[in-house]
Structure 1
C-alpha cells in the first residue's frame, strides 16, 4: 500500500493534467471561434448578411462580434488575449521556464501556490462563457472554469506547498531519502555483528583474539 504522500502526489498531478487539457481545449476552441467570427464579418461586409435584422441586432449574425464601431477589433483582440493567456498558463503548469516565471511572474512561479492559477483560469472561462458560442467552446469554457475552482480550493488547502508537493523531481528526491533511510536501518555494522557472534560463543567482548584462537 502506498503512503499518503504518494496519493497526494498522484492526485495533484492528475489535477495538473486535467488543467493542461482544459487549457488546450480553450486554446483550440478560441482559434475556431476567431475563424468563425472573421468569416461572419467578411460575409457581413460583402453584403451576404446585409439585412434589416442584422443591421438592427447587437451582434453580427453567426458570430460573437458586437455590431458597433471597432467591434471586430475588440472581438479579435479578446480571442488573441485568451490564446496568449492559455499558452502562458500551460507553460506555468509544465514548470518551464521556471526561472522566467519566478522572476517576471512570481504568482505563477514555484514559490506560490495554485490559487492565482485558478483565478486566472476562472477569468478565462468566464470570458468564454460570457458570449453565445457553439458546443465545443461552451464545454471547454465550463471545463476550464471547473478546473479553476478546483485549483483555487487546492491553493487554499496546500498554499505555497502545492507545487513543491506535486513536483516530480522533489518527489523522487523524497523517495530516495526514504529508501536510503530504510537501508540504513537494515544495515548492521561489522563491529556489532562481531560482538553479537562472540557473545553467542560465550566469549567476552574484550577477548576477540582469544575467541578466534579457540575456534
Structure 2
C-alpha cells in the first residue's frame, strides 16, 4: 500500500473513531439525564396520587406524564434498568473505541477485540440509538441518539469495506511500527551461515591430523587446517609475479581401462603397490596388408 493511501486511511478511520467516542459520551450523559428525569416524574406522580390531586384520565394513561416510564406493574424498575444498561453499554463501547484494555476484549468479548472489524461496533451503536429513539425524550437526548445512530451506520459500512483490518489500519501503535520499517532492514546474523573456525596447532593435533614440527602456526592455519581439500591456501608469495610457494599438484590419474599407445608403458600407482604392463604388437597378414591390434589391457 502506498504511503499516501495508508495515511489517508489512518486519518479517516481515526476521524470516525473520534466522532464515535463523542457520540458515546453524549449518549452516556443523556441517559443519566433521562434516568433523573424519570425518577422525578415518578415521584411527582406518586405524590399527586396520594394527595388525590391527579386527574382520573392521567391515572389511566399508558406512560407517566413527563417521563418514559410505563404506567404498569414494575414500570419504574424496568425503566431504570433500561437506562442503566444503556449507560453500561456506552462505557463498554467507549473503552473499545479507546483500545483499552484490548486483552480483556480479545479474551472475553472478541467481537470488540482486535480480531474483528467495526461491523459489530456499529450494530451495537444502532441498537442503543434505536432503544432511545423509541421513546419520547427531550431534545438533547434526541440529538445524541440520532448522532449515535449515524455513526453506527458509518461503522457498519467501514466494517464491510475493511473487515477485520479496520482496527489495524487505524491503530496508533501499528502506525508507529510501520513508520519505523519504511526501509528494509537486514539481519546481522544470516540463517545457516557458520563462519569457519580459527584453527591453531593445538586444535589440529586434537582432531588427529599430523602437524609438521618445522612449520609455524601461520603456515598450519593456511595449509593444513582443511586437509580434505586438494589445493591449500597460499602461504607466501615470491617476487612480483604472485606465484604460490610450494604448490601441491594433484597426482595424475587415468581411467582403469584406457586404451594405450603402441609401444607405450602403462604405469598404475596405488597406495600399496604399482604394477607395470607393456603392450605388445601383434601383426597379422591378410591379403597383402598388415593389421596391427593391441591386446586388451589386463584386469587387476
Residue in 2 aligned with 1:10? 11
Measured in 1, the distance between the counterparts of 2:168 and 2:111 equals: 14
- Measured against aligned partners, the alpha-carbon deviations of 1:121-140 in whole angstroms (never above 9, x if no partner) come to 00000000000000000000
Structure 1 residue corresponding to 2:173, chosen from 169, 175, 181:
169
Which has the larger Rg?
A: 2
Measured in 2, the distance between the counterparts of 1:81 and 1:13 equals: 27
Measured in 2, the distance between the counterparts of 1:54 and 1:159 equals: 51
Residue in 1 aligned with 2:146? 142
Q: Which has the higher contact order (CA 8 A, sep 6+)?
A: 1
More strand as a share of residues? 2
Unmatched 5+ residue regions in structure 2?
187-300
TM-score by length of 2: 0.59
Paired residues for 1:60-71 under 5 Å: 60-71=64-75
Shift of 1:50: 2.0
Measured in 1, the distance between the counterparts of 2:102 and 2:119 equals: 18
Measured in 2, the distance between the counterparts of 1:51 and 1:38 equals: 20
* Root mean square deviation of aligned Cα: 1.4
SS in 2 for 1:47: helix
Residue in 2 aligned with 1:119? 123
Measured in 1, the distance between the counterparts of 2:21 and 2:58 equals: 38
Residue in 2 aligned with 1:24? 25
Measured in 1, the distance between the counterparts of 2:66 and 2:122 equals: 31
Aligned length: 181
Measured in 2, the distance between the counterparts of 1:144 and 1:36 equals: 21
Shift of 1:172: 1.1
Paired residues for 1:167-206 under 5 Å: 167-178=171-182, 180-181=183-184
Unmatched 5+ residue regions in structure 1?
185-215
